[in-house]
Chains A and B, each alone.
Chain A
Amino acid sequence: MMSSNKNEQTVAAAAGFDQPLLLTYTQDIKGFLLKHLGRIVLFVLTCTSVLAVFLIFLFVILEAFPFLNRFSIVEFLTSTAWYPSAHERPEFGVLALIVGSIYVTITALVFSVPIGILAAVFLSDMISFQVRGIVKSIIEILAAIPSVAYGFFAVLVLAPWLQKHFGFPTGTNALNASLLLSIMALPTIISVAEDSISATGRELREASYALGATRVETMFKVVIPAAHSGIIAAIVLGMMRAIGETMVVWMASGNASQVPHPWWDLSQSVRTMTATIAGDMGETEKGSDHYRALFAIGLLLLVMTFMLNLVSEYFLTRAKKSMGKS
């Protein structure tokens, strides 16, 4: 029977307390050192990210500084004359480039924000779990496609098509770039917005339904206002993605350094800051004014995205706080 077996088996059990409960001095010191040394090493390694950010800012500023010192910053930021290779008096006004970046970004958002929020609503509310997995995979695929592939599509497929069907003088213009940028920003917007909409929880929705509201009313009057911080963060993150994008705008925007004249005419070519850096760098001498001006543009980009990052962080923490309370 079981019991007799157990008897024999518990022979070696419970031999009593034979191990010391106190650490010897050396053990204690060793443990202390190891633990703290270990933590310090890990901490230092973790600080590589801080180091990286520091170095990025440092080196970009270092390379840009001589330029910013010699040329007037005000002229840099407000002049639309970008003629860096002019022989006599090269001009380095980046206003047209800034406007170009903002122009395509805002237009891209105009396309992607409504679609993105609607899709996020759809994902979080309207479909079953399995279908949601499939749709999320599709969005992940969209996000995974590299920007050079989008740029390829823009130049070789979309541009001729636009030219043929709309009679534009050229297919590489602001419209082309904005369309592709909106596709690239969509996955970011959708995933962050969907996260924050889902985070509002079932209770809120159930309460609204219990009062007789329809789905759309619940969405727009209850859920989206509750998730509004997260949605704003999503939009800001999408904006960050669009402004920082290089390859697509370089290939698709036409690279004409001009402020678009009737502001609503999307068929004009524009040039963005990112495309300028990418395009000009190959032809400039290291250390020349042009080279440093490009770093100045890079610094400007860095500052802009950093600010946008802070804004999105602010809204994300606000979203978390409001979720935490409910």
Chain B
Amino acid sequence: MKASGRVILDKVFTVITGLSVILLIIVLLVILGPMLWRGLSAVAFKGTVEFRKMQLAEFGQGDESAVHIETAKAETAQKTVYEMIDRFKNGVDFEKLADRAKDIYRDFGEELQRKGLPREEYTELRSLSRKIRNELTAAFSSRDIGEINEHIDFVLKYSSDSRFEGTVASQFFRMAKDYRDAAANIDLEKRDEYASELAELEEIIKGLFGPHPEEDSPALAQFRYGATRWDQAQNLLYRLRWKEKWVEQEPGQPLVKIAVSRAELFAGTELEGLFGFVEMNLGRMLLPRWTFYWRYFVDDSTPGHYFGGVGPEILGTLMLTLLSMIFVVPFGVISAAYLAECARDNLIIRIIRMCINTLAGVPSIVFGLFGLAFFVLFFLPLFGAPSKPCILAGSLTLAVLTLPVMIRSSEEAIRAVPQTYKEASLALGASSFRTFVTVTLPAALPGILTGVILSLSRVAGETAPILFTAGIAVGPVPKSIFQTTRTLSYGSWDMAVADKLAAQVPHNQYGMVVALVLLILCLNALAIILRSRVFKRLKGH
């Protein structure tokens, strides 16, 4: 190859290798970036009055009087919307109207009885009111404006009848009048459609503002409140304004999703203006405010992680990891000390080293199997503990998993201590043991600590070993090490794959996994800082 060609190849190669590292950086950013961004929105977001209501009612957080004032303000703003809907319903929801007609008929009957009228009058009025009721019902269920007007006219003939004045039956006539007005305005063909559209609309309104102030509080926590976050509210607003439909735009082609304005669906009715009104006034109806929900890391969560935080998960992770460290650090450091100080290169030591390497290579799920078969089913019953998954079994499993990491890093730290310190100490008359404890170990301590932190971060992220030994997705906060626990790792898996509700609260999904990633990154950063300090310290010699 010509010299210039070789030089070009050289430069190209340099660029390509550089690109590979840039690719790595890009991958890291692509993976971490969106996750961190979305996850952090679990902690910093625009929260609405519903959020503050929820915090007060479910977690006891927040200023009660302030929340009440805000709730009142919001409800005032929301009132218009409810009124608009009610009015529309009066005109359209014929089942309800028919039911009301029946109620009026019944109440009128009772009233007549109380009045104690003579039998003939009673029966006559009763049958008349029955007829009115039936006419009204017919009017309600009819689609033909002509028919409706006929029925209404019939009913209204009796509006001036004195026998009905001042009684419950006068409501018949009001209903009839309202209905005639409403019916004049709407497309009666679409009435069935209206019913289902209205149901959808009411559902969205419920999602935005919570259940109607006069309704009973639902059993499930997720339905008790409206949109707790402003971004949630915006999504719902979009759904309010636009309905997504699948239509066949071109024959023979797959269906295409288009968005239809709901306002159009309700064109000509009272509700047409609802949508613009809601959009313009949503701020006043929900009172959004920037919220820094640091309690996310402390609070428990409602079922399905719909509301609340990851407090129990963090606690579970910490308990598991700290307990496993307590088990593994003594064995790890002592093994490392033996290997670094006392071991000669013979067969036994080589076997030990091979076993350490083997341990390091065992897949994490096999550790889970081992934890199940040995710790849960065999070891724990030996000591009288129930053979069920629990924190103790999980941390023992994790301790075995992280043993090689601990041994390797500790041995490295001990070997890094310069031989001269040992010589100086021995020359002063100290025994080997004394030298190790008073000189070598303190000098190696930062390195060992780095190893502990790295082991901690590894253990915190492990999911497979605790799947059958300690972890659960849903459960109470553990009170002893003989119970199972939720953890950040298990919870992240659960939120991503198993939990059905989780998709509705992406901020909580991402929040959980981001809490885990942040915990691990902080631990690693700590280890890196420690390691550079160690390097500086020993560099003096």
Contact = CB atoms under 8 A, between A and B. Distances in A.
Tell me if chains A and B make direct contact, with any CB pair below 8 A.
Answer: yes
Interface of A: 38-39, 42-43, 45-50, 52-53, 55-56, 59-60, 62-63, 115, 118-119, 121-123, 126, 135, 137-142, 144-153, 155-157, 183, 186, 214-217, 219, 240, 243-247, 251, 274, 277-278, 281-282, 286, 294-295, 298, 301-302, 305-306, 308-309, 313
Contacts of B377: 286
Nearest to A172: B497
Given A62-B373, A126-B17, A52 B366 contact: no
B338 A46 contact: yes
Interface string B341-369: 01000000001101111110111111111
A229 B18 CA distance: 24
Given A42-B334, A119-B20, A305-B362, A145 B520 contact: yes
B17 A274 contact: no
B24 A240 contact: no
Given A148-B463, A148-B492, A298-B369, A139 B363 contact: no
A195 to B, nearest CB: 13
Contacts of A151: 493, 496
Closest 9 CB pairs of A and B: A146-B461, A244-B363, A122-B17, A216-B13, A214-B10, A118-B20, A46-B335, A246-B464, A59-B373
Nearest to A115: B20
Nearest to A179: B27
B331 to A, nearest CB: 5
B140 interface: no
A147 B365 contact: no
A150 B38 CA distance: 15
A61 B358 CA distance: 16
B403 A52 contact: yes
Interface of B: 6-7, 9-10, 13-14, 16-18, 20-21, 23-25, 27-28, 31-32, 34-35, 330-331, 334-335, 337-339, 342, 351-352, 354-359, 361-370, 372-374, 377-378, 400, 403-404, 407, 433, 457-458, 460-464, 467-468, 489, 492-493, 496-497, 506, 509-510, 513, 516-517, 520-521, 524, 528
B496 A152 contact: yes
Contacts of B339: 46
B366 A60 contact: yes
A146 B433 contact: no
B520 A48 contact: no
B247 to A, nearest CB: 20
A216 B493 contact: no
Given A126-B17, A215-B14, 20 more contacts: A39-B342, A42-B337, A46-B335, A46-B339, A52-B403, A55-B370, A56-B366, A119-B21, A146-B462, A147-B364, A152-B496, A155-B497, A156-B496, A216-B10, A245-B363, A245-B364, A247-B463, A251-B496, A281-B372, A308-B361
Given A52-B355, A149-B513, A313-B354, A281 B467 contact: yes
A4 B242 CA distance: 102
Contacts of A281: 368-369, 372, 467-468
Given A42-B342, A46-B339, A59-B373, A147 B363 contact: no
A123 B365 CA distance: 33
B208 to A, nearest CB: 25
Contact of A274 (B7, B365, B404): B365
Contacts of A282: 467-468
Nearest to B487: A148
A182 B15 CA distance: 22
8 contacts: A46-B352, A141-B521, A149-B517, A151-B493, A152-B509, A152-B513, A214-B6, A281-B368
Contact of B9 (A138, A146, A214): A214
B363 A243 contact: yes
B361 A240 contact: yes
A237 to B, nearest CB: 8
B257 to A, nearest CB: 13
A150 B32 CA distance: 9
Contacts of B467: 278, 281-282
Contacts of A155: 496-497
Contacts of A56: 359, 362, 366-367, 370, 374, 400
A118 B15 CA distance: 10
Contacts of A118: 16-17, 20
Nearest to B407: A49
Interface of B is mostly: helix
Contacts of A216: 9-10, 13-14
B335 A45 contact: yes
B365 A246 contact: yes
A38 B517 CA distance: 42
Given A146-B461, A214-B9, A286-B377, A247 B21 contact: no
Contact of A150 (B31, B330, B351, B407): B31
A302 B370 CA distance: 11
A152 B464 CA distance: 14
Contact of A251 (B354, B458, B493): B493
Contact of A46 (B23, B334, B510): B334
Contacts of A152: 35, 492-493, 496, 509, 513
Nearest to A133: B532
Nearest to B468: A281
Contacts of A138: 24-25, 28
B461 to A, nearest CB: 3
Contacts of B461: 144-149
Contacts of B506: 156
A183 B17 CA distance: 17
Contact of A52 (B364, B400, B462, B510): B400
A146 B520 contact: yes
A275 to B, nearest CB: 9
B532 to A, nearest CB: 9
Nearest to B373: A59
B17 A121 contact: yes
